[in-house]
Amino acid sequence: MRVSRKAKQMSPIEVYKLLPKTNCGKCGFPTCMAFAFKLVQGAVEVDKCPYLSDEAKSLLTGMTAPPVALVVIGRGDKAVRVGGEKVSFRHEDKFYNQPVIALELNDLMDMEEVENGLKKAEEIAFERMGQTLKVNALALRNLSGRAEPFVRLVELVKDSPYPLIVSTGNPSTAMKVLNILKDERPLLHGAVLRNLMPMASLARRFKCPISVKAADWRTLLAAVNRLRGIGLHDIVIHPPGETLKEVIESLTIIRRLAVDKKFERLGYPTITFPGDLKSNVPEPLRTSAVMTRYSSIVVVKPEALRFLRPVMMLRQSIMMDPRAPISIKPGLYEVGEPTPESPVLVTTNYALTYYILTEDLKNMGVDCYLIVVDTGGLSVACSIAGDKLKPESVKRVMEETGIADKVKHRTLIIPGRAARLSGDIEDATGWRVLVGPLRSKEIAGFIEKRFRQNKT
Amino acid sequence: MVIGATEPEGGSRGYVVEAGGAETLPFYTFEGLNPRPVLALEVYDCVEPLPSFLLESYRDVVSNPVEWARLVDRLEPDLVNLNVRSISPTVLDRSPRDALKTVEAVLQATRRPLMVTGIMDPIHRDDTARNMEFLRLVAETFKGERLLIGPVTPEAFETVAEAALANGHNVLAKTNMDVNQAIRLNELLVEKGLTLERIVVDVTTGALGYGVEYTLSTMERFRIRGLKGDRMARSPLIFFASENLFIRELENGESGMASIYEASSAVAGLMAGADIVSMLHPESLEKVRRFIDEFPWRGG
C-alpha cells in the first residue's frame, strides 16, 4: 500500500470520523472513540480495526507512520531493521532501531583476509546486560571494478550469519550478484544519479532496498524523487559530505527535516562510511560521532574492529530508553545454593548492578540471598544520591519474601555506597546492618572477615 | 565562564580560558558557530590504584601531584583539573588545610588555568563536610586566581558558594542525571549571589554503559532549555570522560583501547553539548583535540 507520510497529525475526533462507529470491540477497545484516542497516541496498530476503508487505512497509517521510514535489510533470521525513528532527541520518545554496524569487505581482499575479518567480527561480540553487542551486517564493495572478483566475494560470504550490503556502481555487476542472492533482500548500494534507473529497476525486480548517494542536496532530492516515482520506498540515503563536519551536518539536517518538517523525501534511514572520510580522527571516534548523530548504518573497516567494543558500548547507551532503565523485578533472589547460615545482601534493581553483582558472587563461589529493592532501576550510587533506596522498601521486600524464615541470623549486608543509610535500615528492619565493600569483587573476603566472624 | 586570572587581573595564570557561550545546538554548524570546547586534563593527588595502562604515561609522577602537573602541562590541555581526593576519610584522611599545600605547589608547577576538585563521589558519612571545608579553604587561600572549584551539590553548597562569590571563583555544580535537579541547584546558587556564567553544570558520569545513557539526554535537555530561554539552564556543561578509565571492561585493559573508550565517550559528550571535557589519558586529549580541530568554532 502506498502510504502518505504527509498525513498530518489528526485529532481524535477527526480520526473517529474515519472509523466505522459501530463500537464492535474487535480492536480490543470498548468504543471506536477509545480506539481513536489510542491511534492518535500511536499506541495501537491501525490494522486492529478490520472494517476500515482503503482510503481511511491509508490516511491513518500515514498519520501513525514514523517520519523516518523503516527499512528491512536481509531476510528471516538475518533481517535487520533500520530507521523507523520518530524523534531527533531521545528524551522526546525513544530511539527504536539501533545503528547497524556493518563490516566492510572488498573484492581486492584475498580469501584469508575475508575470513580473518569474519573471524574477528565474531570474536569481538560480547554479552552485556542480557544483550549481545556485535557486528550486524557485511558491506561488500566492488573495488576491483570487475564482476568476477565481486561475484567470488559474494559467494564466499553469502552463507555467513549476516545480512548483506552490496556496493557497486555497475548495474551489470549488481545484477550478477543479486542473481546469486535472489530473495535475500540485500541493500543495493552504489546508485548515483548517473546509473540510477538501471539500479532502481534491479531493486524493483529483486525486491531489495536501495541506497542512493549524491554530492549535493539538489541531486540527492532529485534521485530520491525518481525512486519514489517508480514506486520504490525502501530507500536508504548516503548523505553528502567528504569530511566529518559535512557528514555530521548532513545527517543532522536530514533527521531534523524528516522529523520536524515531515519532509518525506529525506524521511529515510542513512548509511555512512566514517573510514572513508577525509579526517585525522581515528576511525572508531568518527564512527561514534556519526552514530550519535543518527546514522542508521555505519560501515567500519576491518582494522577498526579491534577498537569496536567501546563503540558498541556507546551504541547500547544511546539506544537505552531513558524513561525505562533496564531493571530487574524487585524481590528475593538466590545466588548459588544458600542455606539458613548464608548471608543476606541488599542491592538495587538496576539491571547492570544486578548482573555485575551476581556474576562476581558466582565467580567467587558465594552462596547467598539477594534482596533486590525497587530503586526505579537506578544504580546504587544514583539511588543513594537520588534518595531512591528507601529503608521501607528494604523492609517491604523482606516481609513479602519471608526472608526471616529462610535464614537463622538477623544480619543484612548493604552496599558500601549505602553506608549512610545503615542506621535507617537497622531502624526500619530491626536487623543488624553491616556496611559492605565498595566493590562487589571484595564481597567474598568481606563475608569471610566480617559476616562469619562477627555473627551473633 | 572565565577560568583563571592573569597577573594584571590579580592572579598568576599565563592565560585565561573561556567556557560556554553556546548560541546554537552542538555541532549545528549549518545554523551557527559555538565557541571551541575546553579540554581539561586531570591530575590526582592520590589514586588507588591507577589503572595499569596509565602507568605507561604517569608511572614516574603517580605519588607526586606537582610533577604530575608539570607533565600534564607539557601535554598542553586548555585547563588542568587537580583532584584532591586525599582529604576523604576513606582515602588518606588528610587534613584540608594540609592539602592546600598541594594546590599551592600545583599552581606554581603550571601557569595554565586550574580547576580544583575535592571528593567527587562522596561515600563516607563525613565526605561532604570534608569536601565543603576543603573547597572553602581553597577559595579563601587562592583569592583572585579565578579557579573552578567543586563539586557542590543540592545538599551542600552554601559555604562554598559564599566563599567562591567572595573570592572570585567559579563553582562546579553536581547533580544526578536529572535536568530539573540541575536547574534547581542553579537556582539555589543564584540565590546565593553567584551568576550563571560562574556555575558549570555536571550532571554526573561519562562512563559508557555505566550511566552515560542518562547523562547524554540530561545534557541535551539542559542545553535545549537554555537555548529556548530558560535562564537557569544557561550555564556551561562539563563532562567527565575520564570515568571510563575505571570501568570493569578496562580492568587489565591496554592503553590504546582505554583511550578509545575515553575519547569515544568524550565525543558523545561533546555531541550532547559539553562545553568542558575532562580527561585523564594523554592520548585521549590528543584524539579529542583532533576531533575538535575538524569543526569550525566561533572566533576561530
Q: What is the pLDDT of residues A61-76, one digit of tens each?
A: 877 788 999 999 999 9
A89 contact residues in B (CB cutoff 8 A): 217, 220-221, 224
How far is Cα A395 from Cα A390, in angstroms, rounded to an integer?
Answer: 9
Any B CB within 8 A of A416 CB = yes
Residue B196 is predicted with a pLDDT of 94
Measure the CA–CA gap between A137 and A74, rounded to whole angstroms.
9
Look-up of cell digits 575520564: B242
- Of residues B246 and B201, the one with the higher pLDDT is B201
pLDDT at residue A32 is higher than 70: yes
Question: Does the bond joining B151 to the residue before it have cis omega, within 30 degrees of 0?
Answer: yes
Residue A212 β-bridge partners? A191, A237
Q: Give domain A331-454's CATH architecture.
A: 3-Layer(aba) Sandwich (3.40)
**Residue A419: which residues within 8 A CB-CB, separation 6 or more?**
A435, B123, B124, B125
Residue B117 inside a domain? The answer is: yes
Q: What chain A residue is nearest to B155 in terms of C-alpha separation? A: A385
For residue A385, give the nearest of B29, B176, B208 by CB distance.
B176
Q: Is there a contact between B39 and B238 (Cβ–Cβ < 8 Å)?
A: no
pLDDT above 70 for A7: no
Does the pLDDT value for residue A1 go beyond 80? no
In whole angstroms, give the CA distance from residue B285 to residue B290.
9
Determine the residue type at B74. R
CA distance A134 to A124: 7
Whole-structure pTM value: 0.88
Contact of A24 with chain B, judged by CB distance below 8 Å, is answered with: no
**What is the pLDDT, as a whole number, of residue A441?**
81
Task: Flag whether B299 is in a domain.
Answer: no
Q: How far apart are the first and last CA of chain B?
A: 18
Ordered strands of the A344-348 beta sheet: A331-335, A368-373, A344-348, A411-414, A432-435
**Best to test chain B binding among A133, A298, A314 (most B CBs inside 10 Å):** A314
List, as ranges, residues 102-161 from A with C-beta within 8 Å of B: 128
Give the start-to-end residue ranges of the domains of chain A. Answer: 12-63, 70-319, 331-454
What was the pLDDT predicted at A321?
79
Interval A361-378 mean pLDDT = 90
In a domain, B284, yes or no: yes
Choose among A243, A253, A282: nearest Cβ to B294: A243
Q: What are phi and psi of B278, to 5 degrees?
A: -105, 130
- B259 in a structural domain: yes
Domain that holds residue B25: 2-293
Q: Let me know if B182 is exposed, middle or buried by CB neighbors in 10 A (0-12, 13-18, 19+).
A: buried
| Residues paired with B114 in a beta bridge | B80
Q: Per the domain annotation, does B300 fall within a domain?
A: no
3-class SS string, A413-433: EECHHHHHHHHHHHHHHCCEE
Q: Residues B127, B129, B130, B133: what is their CA dihedral angle, to the nearest 10 degrees?
A: 160
Task: Confirm whether B298 is domain-assigned.
Answer: no
Chain B partners within 8 Å of A320 (Cβ):
213
Residue with cell 579553604: B137
In Å, how far from its chain's centre is CA A323?
A: 15
pLDDT band at residue B122, thresholds of 50, 70 and 90? confident
Of B209, B216, B260, which is closest to A316 when you measure between CB atoms?
B209
Look up residue A160 and give its three cell numbers. 555467513
Q: Helices in A19-110 by DSSP H: which ranges?
A: 32-41, 54-64
- Which 8-state DSSP code applies to residue A24? -
Would the pLDDT of A5 be above 70? no
Residue B211 lies in a domain: yes
pLDDT of residue A266: 96
CB pair distance less than 8 Å for B263 and A285: yes
A280–B290 CB contact, under 8 Å: yes
- Residue among A343, A395, A402 nearest A374 (CA): A395
Coil/strand/helix, residue A268: coil
What would you report as the CA-atom Rg of chain B, rounded to the nearest whole angstrom? 18
Phi and psi at A401, nearest 5°, equal -100, -5
* Helix H or strand E encompassing A108: none
pLDDT tens string B14-64 = 999 999 999 999 999 999 999 999 999 999 998 767 888 998 899 999 889
CA neighbor of A357 nearest in space, from A449, A431, A433, A444: A444
Q: Is the pLDDT assigned to residue B220 strictly greater than 90? A: yes
> In the predicted model, is pLDDT for residue A166 greater than 60?
yes
Q: Which of B212, B263, B267 is opposite residue A317, by nearest beta carbon?
A: B212
φ and ψ at A130, to 5 degrees? 80, 5
Spatial neighbors of A83 by CB under 8 A, at least 6 apart, are A66, A68, A69, A70, A71, A97, A236, A268, A269, A296
Could you tell me what percent of chain B has a pLDDT over 70? 100
Put simply, the chain B residues between 106 and 165 with a CB less than 8 A from any chain A CB are: 121, 123-125, 153
Q: Which of B211, B260, B291 lies at the smallest CB-CB distance from A310?
A: B260
Residue A4 has pLDDT above 70, yes or no: no
Cβ-based neighbours of B273, under 8 Å, separated by 6 or more? B22, B25, B26, B219, B220, B222, B223, B237
Band (A44; pLDDT cuts 50, 70, 90): confident
**pLDDT grade for B132, boundaries at 50, 70 and 90:** very high
Among A434, A325, A335, A440, CA closest to A388: A325
> Given an 8 Å threshold on Cβ–Cβ distance, is B124 in contact with A419?
yes
Among the listed residues B16, B58, B54, the one whose alpha carbon sits nearest the alpha carbon of residue B38:
B16
Q: Is B272 on the interface with A (CB under 8 A)?
A: yes
- Report residue B69's pLDDT band, with 50, 70 and 90 as the boundaries: very high
Cα distance between the two ends of chain A: 73
Q: How do residues A256-306 score in pLDDT, each as one tens digit?
A: 999 999 999 999 999 999 999 999 999 999 999 999 999 999 999 999 999
CATH entry 3.20.20.70 includes domain A70-319: no
In DSSP notation, chain B reads -EE--BGGGTS-BS--EE-----SSTT-TTT--PPPPEEEEEEES--TTPPHHHHHHHGGGTT-HHHHHHHHHHT--SEEEEE--TTSTTTT---HHHHHHHHHHHHHH--S-EEEE--SS--STTHHHHHHHHHHHHHHHTTTS--EEEEEBTTB-HHHHHHHHHHT-EEEEE--S-HHHHHHHHHHHHHTT--GGGEEEE-S---TTTTHHHHHHHHHHHHHHHHTT-GGG-S-EEEEGGGGGGSGGGTT--HHHHHHHHHHHHHHHHHTT-SEEEE--HHHHHHHHHHHHTS--TT-
CB-based contact B264 A284, cutoff 8 Å: yes
pLDDT in tens, A185-243: 999 999 999 999 999 999 999 999 999 999 999 999 999 999 999 999 999 999 999 99
Task: Give me chain A's average pLDDT, please.
Answer: 91
**Burial class of A231 by CB neighbour count within 10 A (0 to 12, 13 to 18, 19+):** exposed
For residue A6, the model assigns a pLDDT of 47
Out of A25-34, A105-114, A154-163, B14-23, pick the least confident: A25-34
* Percentage of residues of chain B with pLDDT beyond 90: 81
Count Cβ atoms below 10 Å from residue A449 Cβ, excluding itself.
11
**Residue B254 contacts A, CB cutoff 8 Å:** no
Give residue A456's pLDDT band: very low, low, confident or very high (50, 70, 90). Answer: very low
CB A52 within 8 A of CB A63: no
In angstroms, what separates the C-alpha of B179 from chain A's closest C-alpha?
11
Spell out the CATH class of A12-63. Answer: mainly alpha
Give A90→chain B minimum CA distance, Å: 7
Question: In chain A, positions 235-274, which contact chain B (CB-CB < 8 Å)?
Answer: 243-245, 248-249, 252-253
Residue in A280, A271, A319 with CA at minimum distance from that of residue A299: A271
CATH number (domain holding residue B268): 3.20.20.20
Interchain contact B33–A (C-beta under 8 A): no
CA distance B16 to B112: 8
pLDDT for A2 equals 46
For residue A8, name the pLDDT band (cuts at 50, 70, 90).
Answer: low
Cell of B87: 582529604
Q: How confident is the model at residue A438 (pLDDT cuts 50, 70, 90)?
A: confident
Number of structural domains, chain B? 1
Phi, psi of A21 (to 5 degrees): 60, 35
Which residue from B261, B206, B242, B2 is spatially nearest to B113, judged by alpha carbons? B2
Instruction: Compare all CA atoms of chain A with the CA of B261 and give the residue at the minimum distance.
Output: A310
Helices (H) and strands (E) in chain A, counts: 18, 17
Specify the 3-state DSSP secondary structure of A233: coil
Report ipTM (2 d.p.): 0.94
- Cβ of A91 and B261 within 8 Å? no
Q: Looking at beta carbons, which residues of chain B come within 8 Å of A244?
A: 291, 294-295
- By C-alpha distance, which of B291, B103, B204 is closest to A248? B291
Interface test with B, best of A87, A91, A128, A243 (most B CBs within 10 A): A91
Per-residue pLDDT at A268: 98
pLDDT for residue A339 is more than 70: yes
Asked if A165 and A184 touch (Cβ cutoff 8 Å), the reply is: no
> Who wins on pLDDT, A189 or B299?
A189
State the angle between helix axes of A147-157 and A171-181 in degrees (0 to 180), rounded to the nearest 10.
20
